[in-house]
Amino acid sequence: MIWNESIETMPLEDLKNLQSERLTKLSKYVYESCPVYKKKFDAHGMNLSDIQSIDDIVKLPFTTKMDMRDTYPFGLFSRPRTDLVEIHVSSGTTGNPTLVGYTRDDISLWSEVMARTLCCAGAEPDDTIQIAYGYGLFTGGLGFHYGALEMGLTIIPTSSGQTKRQLKIMQDFKPRIICCTPSYCLYMAEEAKELGIDPRKASWDIGIFGAEPWSEAMRGEIEAVWNMLATDVYGLSEIIGPGVSQECTYKEGLHIYSDVFYPEIIDPETGQPVAEGEDGELVITTLTKQGIPLIRYRTRDIVSMTTEPCKCGRTSPRVSKIKGRTDDMIVVRGINVFPSQIEHVLLGIEGTQPHYQIVIDRAAHELDQVEIMVEVGEKIFSDEIKQMNELSAKIKKEIEAVLSIGVTVHLVEPKTIERSMGKSKRVVDKRSL
């Protein structure tokens, strides 16, 4: 089933006309309602009359996470705070979080794109859905909630965690759809087996997994262990949350809803578009958002894109799975982590050296484990075990408070962490993604 057939299967020429009309309106809207954009456009030598068609988008300046942070909390908004009905923040940034807000119409848009997402993954209006993404400031839980509500599904809002309860609810209420991070789904399979539950007999037929990178191999494992169809969902808080793009049941790329989220793939170094099918950074313009519309937002996610027609009949372009990031952000258990956050904590603790390494591993069917190796000064290292333990507990506590995920901390002798002549390798990612 296609949720919004007239839009999702629109001939490309009509789609282009719609995008052009929306871009012209959007550029005028942000120019007139958001002083930050007015300043950016003026500095860029922009004239609103330059924007007549979607092809003119390249004349507009990029927006980056830095723009959001510099204008925190409400600077990049095009509407006053009183027009916002909901606020979320994006996890894992240094200093201020990234704040996003929705007007009532933005929530309707979110509901619409999430209903498209659920249908794209194969949901039917009579289905029951277990939403095991976190509810709260993270956009995962509520985004899925709005889409399921729009579609009229029966929602089981379990949120993340409490695995035994998740499994009991699955057995008792028999939802056909599960959505959570892919690593959590594999972890639940392990728990199920320990509890004597055969995952292959579970009621879940369709999984909608995202918020973190995952490989085709991991998809194969999830599909085999749970006997289900595992689909990929992509999104980011700044654009809307989940609901930017989703795989259909053919699993040949994620359909991006380009009538509302216009995609470009650029070379991250030059900012110029790359040829179709080539890898580059995904840049998105929110064509109809009101609260915090973004012009040419640099997602930092590396993908390729195709406009080839898909067997499902949807005409929107398809983006590949996320192939990497242009910055140093890593996603651990669905949470965005920047090595600089850890560095910041270490620099504030006496006795530690600014030499550290983050090792991330994921044993089969386990959640990601984060180990942080921290070099300490000669004096500390020769201190008593008790003092060492206290220091390592302090580091652990402070890092966990910043990252919101559990970590193990190992103090190591001076000069044990490899030094590099160029960029230092702060992160050793052993997960086979």
210 scored as a contact of ligand DLL (CB under 6 A): yes
Shortest distance in whole angstroms from residue 418 CB to ligand DLL:
27
| Interface of this chain with ligand DLL, residues 280 to 299, rule: CB under 6 A | 299
User: For residue 277, what is the DSSP state?
Assistant: T
322 scored as a contact of ligand DLL (CB under 6 A): yes
List all residues 6 or more positions away from 133 whose beta carbon is below 8 Å from its beta carbon.
140, 141, 143, 144, 159, 160, 179, 180, 181, 211, 242, 334
Residue 323 carries which side chain, given as an amino acid letter? K
The residue among 127 and 212 lying less far from ligand DLL, judged by its C-beta, is: 212
Q: How far is the C-alpha of 103 from the C-alpha of 285, rounded, in Å?
A: 17
Shortest distance in whole angstroms from residue 71 CB to ligand DLL:
18
Which range of residues in 28-36, 114-122, 191-199, 234-242 is near ligand DLL by CB under 6 A?
234-242
- 334's tokens: 């669905």
The residue among 101 and 213 lying less far from ligand DLL, judged by its C-beta, is: 213
Cβ neighbourhood burial of 287 (10 Å; 0-12, 13-18, 19+): buried
| Interface of this chain with ligand DLL, residues 296 to 315, rule: CB under 6 A | 299, 301
| Interface of this chain with ligand DLL, residues 43 to 102, rule: CB under 6 A | 90-91
Q: How far is the C-alpha of 23 from the C-alpha of 11, rounded, in Å?
A: 18
Shortest distance in whole angstroms from residue 254 CB to ligand DLL:
8
The phi-psi region of residue 85 (left if phi > 0; otherwise alpha if psi is between -120 and 50; otherwise beta) is alpha
Shortest distance in whole angstroms from residue 208 CB to ligand DLL:
8
213 scored as a contact of ligand DLL (CB under 6 A): yes
DSSP per residue over 286-335, as a string? ESS-SSS--SSEEEEEEE-EE-S--TT---S-EEPPP-EESSS-EEETTE
Which range of residues in 149-157, 189-197, 211-219, 397-405 is near ligand DLL by CB under 6 A?
211-219
- Exposed e or buried b for every residue in 246-276, given b needs 16+ CB within 10 A? bbbeebebbbbbbbbbbbbbbebeeeeebee
237 scored as a contact of ligand DLL (CB under 6 A): yes
Shortest distance in whole angstroms from residue 234 CB to ligand DLL:
4
Q: Please identify which residue in 37, 102, 133, 261 interacts with ligand DLL, judged by CB under 6 A.
A: 133
Shortest distance in whole angstroms from residue 358 CB to ligand DLL:
17
The residue among 237 and 392 lying less far from ligand DLL, judged by its C-beta, is: 237
265 scored as a contact of ligand DLL (CB under 6 A): no
**Residues 184, 245, 433, 193: is their CA dihedral positive or negative?**
positive
Using CB under 6 A, list all residues that contact ligand DLL.
90-91, 133, 139-140, 210-213, 232-237, 241-242, 299, 301, 322, 325, 331, 336
